[in-house]
Structure 1
Amino acid sequence: MARRWVVISLLLLLTVGYVVGGSGMWDRVSNDFMKEDKPYRPGDFRIRDGQVLSMKLTNPEITFKPREERSDPNRAEPSEPWMMDVGEFANRRSVRILGGNLEGEISRHFKEPAQRTDWWLAPDWSTLYLATGWSDRTMEIPSGRRYLPEITQLFKSTDQGQEWEKLRWPEDQNITFLRFLDPQRGYLIGWGPRVWRTRDGGEHWDELPVPEDSRNPENPRQQFDLVALGQDNVMRMAFYDHAADVSRIYALSWGEDIPQQAFTIPGHVVMDIAANTESNVYVLATRGAPYFSLPSEERDAPRPSVVWRWNDDSLDKLHEFPPELKGYALYLTPSGGLLFDGVNESTLLGNDVVAVSYDGGGSWKIQNEGRSAQGGYYDVQTGTRWRVTGYSLYQREIP
């Protein structure tokens, strides 16, 4: 039965046009991209006219004693005791902002203790916002609470990350997502869930109401499944309603104070939303209830990724991908195409996969981009896709 399923899946891939990634797919740009910053990770980087900015959430670097100083010469031994302590190790995690150019040095501009973080970078790179969260993992959870207290901070830079201003923000109010229209106007979204809005570049914040159904009285750290800001300047929030077995998508236009339910998708969890300037909304969703809410015996059932379209009138199912292709992002390309970004989980190590449609989601061309990368992103302004594998930086165009 398993073999039959694999054969069927392969046939489905062939029907939509499977293209194996080859040497001609990618152009190598650098052989030592961000190699000097240890421990190595490219981070959540952006590239513009040869310049690089990266937000890197990183673990502390582990070093080891020379052989002659070890208690057992045949076993590696960390240099300092804290390196063996899980809580102390977590406490030393940090976020770094790095910048420079592809032809020269990329250096560290900023570092702050953090175990979670999100950032927003203006399209012209004029402004950066950065939110951090940190808790003391060596503490005991206080009596009567489910979680350790977390300290939240909010920072802003107006010179490409060289200098930073710490904005006023209550440290006990979590920030999970930053969504900005421009350097002056934007939203913060945190646990609860809660939503705040600024009109003056972060000087003042107003809290906005959220849908009651999105809250869970038993979980103060409840979050939206997805928060997306479209090209139409509408913020959309999605959450799964277990009682009704639907995902509810709410919309909040700039200037409005109360989000309104726009549509629902039965039996699916929303992974991403992309909307153009005409408010045509495209949704990437996974069939079924949220994974960790399922009984263990149901978690191995096929969970195909599906692309939907909402046009203010009707919800249309555009395409369902084979179950082994797990989608996690959906983009609008500069020429108006749709780009599905995901992983082929049928391979041992997982291959990165994209699928592109230029006819509104009717037909898709699937492309295997190779073994899963260490980092990368798709630039919706230029149509350039970036990828890092083994210190090497590659690019390709998806217009």
Structure 2
Amino acid sequence: MARQWGVISLLLLLAVGYVVGGSGMWDSVSNDFMREDKPYGVGDFRVNGKSIITMKLTKPEITFKPREERSDPNRAEPSEPWMSNVGEFANRRSVRILSSGLEGEVIRRFEEPAQRADWWLAPDWSTLYLTTGWSDRAAELPLGQSYRPELTQLFKSTDQGQEWERLRWPEEQNITFLRFIDPQRGYLIGWGPRVWRTRDGGEHWDELPVPEGSRNPENPRQQFDLVALGQDNVLRMAFYDHAADVSRIHALPWGEDISQQAFTIPGHVVMDIAANTEGNVYVLATQGAPYFSLPSDERDAPRPSVVWSWNDDSLHKLHEFPPELKGYALYLTPSDGLLFDGVNESTLLGNDVVAVSYDGGGSWKIEYEGRSAQGGYYDVQTGTRWRVEGYSLYRREIP
């Protein structure tokens, strides 16, 4: 009977075009990756040849008194009082921009207090933009308010992070995401949601209208579910319409001021969008309404990840993955493939998984990449996938 079920399982996998990958797919690049910067954390890094740039949100280090100085010799006691205060601990978080070689010294190029940050790095590394957000977590909430004020800053570097300029920006206006076409042209997206555009490298910003229905009057910190800038230079914004039970995807081509609804996806939440230079759009979505809007007794129901396509005329469901494979990102590979990036949640610790399709989403090759990594990314320009486990950096090619 066990053999019979094994054969059936194999046939089912083949029927949907699955081929499960094995071990030995990674090439070791470094066994000493980011070891020097404390506390340890790989951050959001990029590799170019043998050079690395990293944006890293970091927590303060905690030290402890020697046994003879403790009030209770048998209990660890932090060296300073703030280390035991959750709010003060959060206030000392920071964002760092680091540079290094694959095996060389890690150099701290920039550091700023921050509990939240986002960045954009030009493909040729000529320009970096960085936004930071910091709030006093040790202070009492203002009377009648649900949130502490957050101070937002915007920085720019044109020499790979060696020197930085603080750009003019109102501190009370949140910036959550940076989406740039090139060093001169790009968007900022913040709470509300709100969208701003620059044409001159951040010297001036114009606020643009957001899609109707994307705001919640009761939530001043409302955000889009997803904001993506495609290879066609179109900014796409997705948000869930609870009344209609659909995700609405609006498109804003560069140079236009008002976005238009492009299409909707019924009963799914958008996780990622990828679009090529011809404007063919691919969407990764999760079945069901937004997780935290569901009743607690419905949150554990299976929520499969689904890939859709939109060709400026009609929407097509390309593939639905098994519920245990949760997708987080969707990429276009250099050879026009589709790359699904996610995790297998059926295991206790989770295993990283990718699925690749080279026939427009008809068949998919699934590859299990090992237990969940500490960090990594996929380079859509070179087709290189990077992975960090412990202090080891690995790479593989997915063309």
> Which bracket does the TM-score occupy, shorter chain normalised?
over 0.9
Scaled by the length of structure 2, the TM-score of the pair is 0.96
Distance in 2 (alpha carbons) for counterparts of 1:61 and 1:8: 53
1: CA distance, partners of 2:329 / 2:71: 49
- 3-state SS of paired residue (2:213): helix
Structure 2 partner of 1:75: 75
**Residues in 1 aligned to 2:127 and 2:8: alpha-carbon distance in whole angstroms:** 49
Counterpart-to-counterpart distance in 2, 1:186 and 1:36: 34
Would you say the 8 A contact 1:178–1:187 is kept in 2? yes
Equivalent residue for 1:228?
Answer: 228
Scaled by the length of structure 1, what TM-score is found?
0.96
Give the whole-Å Cα distance in 1 for the aligned partners of 2:150 and 2:99.
28
Distance 1:368 1:73 in 2: 47
Structure 2 spans left out of the alignment, 5+ residues? 1-6
Q: Does 1:274 align with 2:274?
A: yes
Deviation at 1:9, TM superposition (A): 8.5
Q: Which residue of 2 aligns with 1:3?
A: none
Partners of 1:143 and 1:74 in 2: CA distance: 42
Q: Counterpart amino acid of 2:182?
A: D
Judge which range, 9-18 or 69-78, deviates more.
9-18
Give, in angstroms, the shift of residue 20 of structure 1.
4.1
Aligned match of 2:116:
116
**Contact persistence 2:36–2:105 (CA under 8 A):** no
Aligned to 2:136: 136
Cα distance in 1, alignment partners of residues 167 and 255 from structure 2: 23
Q: Which moved more, 1:131-140 or 1:58-67?
A: 58-67
Q: Tell me which residue corresponds to 1:200.
A: 200
Q: Answer whether contact 2:20 2:368 (CA < 8 A) is retained.
A: yes
By how many angstroms is 1:302 displaced? 0.3
Distance (Å, rounded) in 2 between the aligned partners of 1:29 and 1:274: 29
2-side partners of 1:11 and 1:160: how far apart?
A: 51
Instruction: Find the counterpart in structure 2 of residue 339 from structure 1.
Output: 339
Moved over 3 A (4+): 7-16
Instruction: Give 1:290's aligned amino acid.
Output: P
Q: Is the 8 A contact 1:9 1:322 kept in 2?
A: no
Q: How far apart in 2 are the matches of 1:304 and 1:143?
A: 42
Q: Distance in 2 between matches of 1:304 and 1:12?
A: 17
Cα distance in 2 for residues equivalent to 1:390 and 1:285 = 31
Partner of 2:57: 57
1:213 counterpart SS class: coil
Q: Deviations over 1:9-36 (max 9, x none)?
A: 98755654342431x2000100110001
Distance 2:234 2:206 in 1: 17
Match of 2:87, SS?
helix
Q: Determine helix, strand or coil for the equivalent of 2:363.
A: coil
Distance 1:12 1:208, change over 3 A: farther
Name the residue aligned to 2:189.
189
Cα distance in 2 for residues equivalent to 1:9 and 1:316: 27
The letter of the residue matching 1:324 is E
1:348-363 equivalences under 5 Å are 348-363=348-363
Change beyond 3 A, Cα 1:180–1:26: same
Give the Cα–Cα distance (whole angstroms) in 1 for the partners of residues 136 and 9 of structure 2: 47
Q: How many aligned positions are there?
A: 393
Instruction: Give 1:101 deviation, angstroms.
Output: 1.2
Matched residue of 1:292: which SS?
A: helix
2:213 match: 213
- The one-letter code sitting in structure 2 at the alignment partner of 1:115 is Q
Distance in 2 of aligned mates of 1:41 and 1:21:
27
CA distance in 2, matches of 1:251, 1:8: 44
Which string of whole-angstrom CA distances, capped at 9 and with x for unpartnered residues, describes residues 274-313 of structure 1?
0000000000000000000000000000000000000001
User: Do 2:65 and 2:79's aligned partners in 1 also have CA atoms closer than 8 Å?
Assistant: yes
State the partner residue of 2:97: 97
Aligned to 1:165: 165
Q: Report the AA paired with residue 377 of structure 2.
A: Y
Cα offset, 1:143, TM superposition: 1.3
Provide the rounded CA distance (Å) in 1 between the counterparts of 2:101 and 2:245. Answer: 49
Contact 2:33–2:103 at 8 Å: present in 1 too?
Answer: no
Question: What amino acid maps onto 1:344 in structure 2?
Answer: N
- 2:218 and 2:8 mapped to 1: Cα distance? 43
Q: Residue 68 of structure 1: CA displacement?
A: 2.4
Aligned residue for 1:298? 298
Q: State the partner residue of 1:385.
A: 385
- In structure 2, the partner of 1:398 is 398
Residue type of the alignment partner of 1:30: S
Residues 143-189 of structure 1: CA distance to partner in whole angstroms, max 9, x if unpaired? 12221000000000000011100000000000000000000000000
Letter in 1 for 2:111: K
Residue identity matched to 1:261: Q
Q: Which amino acid aligns with 1:314?
A: S
1:21 aligns with 2:11: no
Q: In 1, Cα distance between the equivalents of 2:114 and 2:126?
A: 24
Residues of 1 paired with 2:329 and 2:305: CA distance?
Answer: 11
Letter aligned with residue 241 of structure 1: D
Q: Distance in 2 between matches of 1:40 and 1:243?
A: 45
**How far apart, CA to CA, are the structure 1 residues paired with 2:288 and 2:19?**
26
CA distance in 2, matches of 1:181, 1:307: 25
User: Equivalents in 2 of 1:379, 1:20: separation in Å?
Assistant: 20
Q: Percent identical across equivalent pairs?
A: 86
- How many Å apart are 1:396 and its aligned residue? 0.3
Corresponding residue number in structure 2 for 1:284: 284
**Aligned ranges for residues 316-335 of structure 1 at < 5 Å?**
316-335=316-335
Separation in 2 of the partners of 1:136 and 1:254?
Answer: 37
Q: Is the 8 A contact 2:32 2:103 kept in 1?
A: no
